[in-house]
């Protein structure tokens, strides 16, 4: 098992270390040169002990170092909610989506573009000049339109123009995307990061789409960790949504997994980003630590 090594951590002998590398080898070969979109949720950032951002950055840099092309899409829901409360605003949600008036939109842009994005870029760039922070507003990356008057400035994605991201990855850089989009008039919209990650993964023809969040995967009984599914098909997930087994904030994640896989993304994954190096464990080991979604 890959994990942080500290004073109290068990030390692996040379044979165990070699076994880990050998297990990872076929996955390194398979995904060499392929794009892997990683959605890093604000819940994963807020819910872990120690320095989760440092561990995440190490995972992303290692993926790039073995030939993958990581692309990070991030949320920041808890951080937006925290600033709203400090400013005396009460967050309100409908089906997992934040109701966004003009003031809340300004807060979301400040947090996502000015804080969370910069923190992720800085954490990655400790390891070298690798990451570039962008917003969906940049170079027409995310074209948006209003989703529902009840939600205010919450947008749906009308189109994703991946040219900027493709150019950055061609230069061996790691794009880090804040999910604010704009319409034809320049009006900004807060875009659900789960939905945006799926749409971006489709647009760049990603081999994998990985959601790092605060749950360990998809469960048939959300209150029972023992019911986590290690694998599910798109048809199975749609049935779970209809039955109410998936609800709340999991709906955009699961729906985006289904849409992305059906749109050409090879596989989608949902896993607990607060577990140290969960991204490496999911991608480079046979067993994995979350739920993998494949076509029906």
Token pair for 243: 């039955």
Catalytic residue among 39, 119, 181, 273: 39
How far apart CA 272 and CA 281 sit, in angstroms, is 11
Pairing state between β 218-219 and 228-229? antiparallel
Exposed (0-12), middle (13-18) or buried (19+): which is 180, by Cβ within 10 Å?
Answer: buried
Active site residue 172: no
How far apart CA 75 and CA 35 sit, in angstroms, is 20
Neighbouring-strand partners of residue 183: none
Neighbours of 119 (CB within 10 A): 18
Catalytic residue among 41, 75, 77, 290: 77
Active site residue 39: yes
Active site residue 77: yes
Token pair for 168: 């950055």
Residue 284: partners with Cβ closer than 8 Å, 6 or more residues away: 2, 23, 24, 27, 28
Neighbouring-strand partners of residue 176: 72, 133
- Pair 253, 193: CB distance under 8 Å: no
Catalytic residue among 76, 253, 266, 290: 253
Catalytic residue among 42, 76, 81, 255: 42
Active site residue 181: no
Catalytic residue among 81, 194, 255, 273: 194
Active site residue 147: no
Q: Annotated active-site positions, please?
A: 39, 42, 77, 194, 253
């Amino acid at each position: 098992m890959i994990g942080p090594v500290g004073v109290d951590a068990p030390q692996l002998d040379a044979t165990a270390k070699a076994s880990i590398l050998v297990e990872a080898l076929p996955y390194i070969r398979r995904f060499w040169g392929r794009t892997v979109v990683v959605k890093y949720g604000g819940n994963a950032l807020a819910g872990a002990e120690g320095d989760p951002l440092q561990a995440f950055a190490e995972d992303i840099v290692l993926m790039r170092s073995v030939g993958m092309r990581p692309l990070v899409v991030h949320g920041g829901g808890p951080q937006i909610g925290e600033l709203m409360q400090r400013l005396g605003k009460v967050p309100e949600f409908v089906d997992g989506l934040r109701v966004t008036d003009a003031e809340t939109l300004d807060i979301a842009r400040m947090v996502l573009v000015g804080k969370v994005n910069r923190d992720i870029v800085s954490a990655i760039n400790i390891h070298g000049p690798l990451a570039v922070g962008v917003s969906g507003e940049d170079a027409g990356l995310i074209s948006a339109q209003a989703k529902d008057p009840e939600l205010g400035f919450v947008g749906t994605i009308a189109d994703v123009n991946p040219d900027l991201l493709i150019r950055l990855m061609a230069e061996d850089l790691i794009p880090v995307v804040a999910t604010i989009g704009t319409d034809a008039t320049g009006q900004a919209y807060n875009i659900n990061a789960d939905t945006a990650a799926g749409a971006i993964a489709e647009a760049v023809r990603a081999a994998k789409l990985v959601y790092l969040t605060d749950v360990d995967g998809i469960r048939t009984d959300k209150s029972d960790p023992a019911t986590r599914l290690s694998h599910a098909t798109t048809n199975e997930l749609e049935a779970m949504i209809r039955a109410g087994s998936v609800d709340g904030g999991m709906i955009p994640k699961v729906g985006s997994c289904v849409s992305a896989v059906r749109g050409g993304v090879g596989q989608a994954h949902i896993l607990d980003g607060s577990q140290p190096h969960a991204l490496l464990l999911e991608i480079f080991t046979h067993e994995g630590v979350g739920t993998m979604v494949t076509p029906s």
